[in-house]
Amino acid sequence: MHGDLDAIERVGVVGAGTMGSGIAQVAATAGYDVVLRDIDPDLVEEGLDRIDDSLGRLVNRGDMTEADAEAARDRIDGTTDLDDLGSCDIGIEAVVEDIEIKQDLFSSLDDLVDEDTYLATNTSTLSITSIASATDRSERVVGLHFMNPVPIMDGVEVVVGEKTSEATAELAHTFAEDLGKETWEADDKPGFVTNRILIPWINEGIRAFDEGVASKEDIDRGMTLGTNVPMGPLELADHIGLDVALHASETLHEELGDRYTPAYLLKRKVAAGDLGKKTGEGFYEYD
C-alpha cells in the first residue's frame, strides 16, 4: 500500500507515557520533527527521560550510532501546550483508554490543526468511529495501534473507522512503514485483531494457573515451547500491566459478552495493587 508522505513533516504526539514517548522516539528516529505533549511538565520530562534511556540502550547494543541518537533526540520538543501541535501534519493520540477523554481531545485537536491534518489514535480497544465522531474530519481519522515497547516491536495495527477514507488508511500504512514497522489492517470492531485474540488467551492462562492445571512457570513454558511465542500469558500480563489487561478485558466483555469475562485472579491481583513489572510484583517478582 502506498500513501503520499510528502504531506507529513511534523508529527504531534499527545501523551508522554510509555506508548507516547515510544511513538515520538521512532518518529524522530525516522527523521520527522516531533512535538510531544502532556498535561504536566513532570510528565513531559519523564517522557523525554524515557526516550533518552531508550536511545542510550540502542547505542549501547550497537543498534544505533551516538550521532544518530543525538540527532533523533534533537528533533523532539516537549510541551504542555496543546496549541504547539497546531503546525503538525499528523497528530497521534496516546492518552488513557477513556472514550470521553479521547473524544474531548480529538474535538480540541480538530479545532486547532489545519483542515488537511490527519489524526490518529493509539487505542487498543476503543472505537475509532466513536473517537472520530468528535471531529469534523472523520475521513482523516484512523487507528495506529503500536505494540509495546514501541521502539522494539515491529508491528502496527491500522484500524479503519466507519468514515476513514481509503487514502487515509493507505497513508497510515505508509507512515508506519516509514517508521520501520510492518502493518496489518483491522476493521473497527472491538479489540481489533490483536486484543480480540490476545485478551482471552491471557485470561485463560490465568484461569489455568488459578485452577491448578500447572504452575505459572510451566504454563508459560508450555506456551512458549508449544506455540513458539516469545512470552507466555502470565509473564506477558505482567509486562503489559495487570491493570491494563483487566481494563481491556472489561471493555471487551462489555462489547462482546461472556467469553471475555476477566479471570477472577486477575481482578484480585489488581485489587491488591500487584500490577506486574511496573510495581515489582504480579504473577512474578521483579527487581
Phi and psi (nearest 5°) for 261? -60, 125
If you average pLDDT over every residue of the chain, what do you get?
96
Instruction: Identify any residues that bridge with 187 across adjacent strands, giving them in sequence order.
Output: 160
Total domains in the chain come to: 2
Task: Say whether 97 counts as a known binding-site residue.
Answer: yes
Chain CA centroid to CA 159, Å: 13
Indicate if 145 belongs to the active site.
Answer: yes
Examine residue 287 and state whether it is found in any structural domain, yes or no. Answer: no
189 is in an annotated binding site: no
Among 52, 47, 53, residue whose Cα is nearest residue 35: 47
pLDDT at position 62? 96
Q: Does 144 map to a domain? A: yes
Domain match, 198 and 56 both: no
Does any domain span residue 218?
yes
- In the chain, what percentage of residues exceed pLDDT 90? 97
Residue 18, annotated ligand binder?
A: yes
Q: What is the mean pLDDT of residues 111-121?
A: 97
pLDDT at 2 over 60: no
Task: Write the CATH number for 155.
Answer: 3.40.50.720
Domain that holds residue 265: 194-279
ω into 230 cis (within 30 of 0): no
pTM more than 0.85 = yes
Confidence check: pLDDT of 1 > 90: no
Q: Answer yes or no: do 77 and 214 share one domain.
A: no
- Tallying the residues shown for the chain, one arrives at 287
Which residue out of 127, 145, 247, 249 is catalytically annotated?
145
124 is catalytic: yes
173 and 255, same domain (yes or no): no
Sorting pLDDT into bands at 50, 70 and 90, what band is 3? Answer: low
Asked about 157 being catalytic, the answer comes back as yes
Residue identified by cell 514517548 is 21
Active-site residue among 124, 127, 138, 249?
124
38 is in an annotated binding site: yes
Instruction: Indicate the pLDDT class of residue 4, thresholds 50, 70 and 90.
Output: low
